[in-house]
Amino acid sequence: MRIILLGPAGSGKGTQGELIERHYGFPRISTGDLLRLEVQKGTELGKMVADVMKSGQLVADELVLRLIKDRIIDPDCQAGYVLDGYPRTLNQARLLEQMEDNRQETVLEIYVSEEAVMERLAGRRVCPECGAVYNIKNNKQTIEGRCPVCGAVLTVRDDDRPEVIRERFRIYRETIGALLEHYIKKQVLFRVDGNRTVEEVFGSIKSILDERITGSQGESSRP
Binding residues (CB under 5 A) for Zn ion: these are 127, 129-130, 132, 147, 149-150, 152
Report whether 15 contacts 84 (CB < 8 A). Answer: no
Residue 170 bears catalytic tag: no
Rounded CA-CA distance 45/151 in Å is 35
Task: Report the nearest approach of Zn ion to the CB of residue 132 (Å).
Answer: 5
Residue of 13, 28, 71, 120 marked catalytic: 13
Rounded CA-CA distance 147/10 in Å is 21
Rounded CA-CA distance 30/85 in Å is 6
Q: Which is nearer to Zn ion, 96 or 147 (CB)?
A: 147
Residue 212 bears catalytic tag: no
Residue of 36, 66, 103, 168 marked catalytic: 168
Closest CA to 112 of 20, 175, 196, 208: 196
Q: Which is nearer to Zn ion, 73 or 150 (CB)?
A: 150
Residue of 137, 157, 161, 186 marked catalytic: 157
Task: Report the nearest approach of Zn ion to the CB of residue 16 (Å).
Answer: 25
Residue 28 bears catalytic tag: no
Neighbouring C-alpha atoms within 13 Å toward the C-beta of 104: 14
Residue 222 bears catalytic tag: no
Task: Report the nearest approach of Zn ion to the CB of residue 38 (Å).
Answer: 24
Q: Which is nearer to Zn ion, 156 or 176 (CB)?
A: 156
Task: Report the nearest approach of Zn ion to the CB of residue 53 (Å).
Answer: 23
Rounded CA-CA distance 14/28 in Å is 9
Q: Which is nearer to Zn ion, 67 or 154 (CB)?
A: 154
Rounded CA-CA distance 164/161 in Å is 5
Active site residues: 13, 88, 124, 157, 168
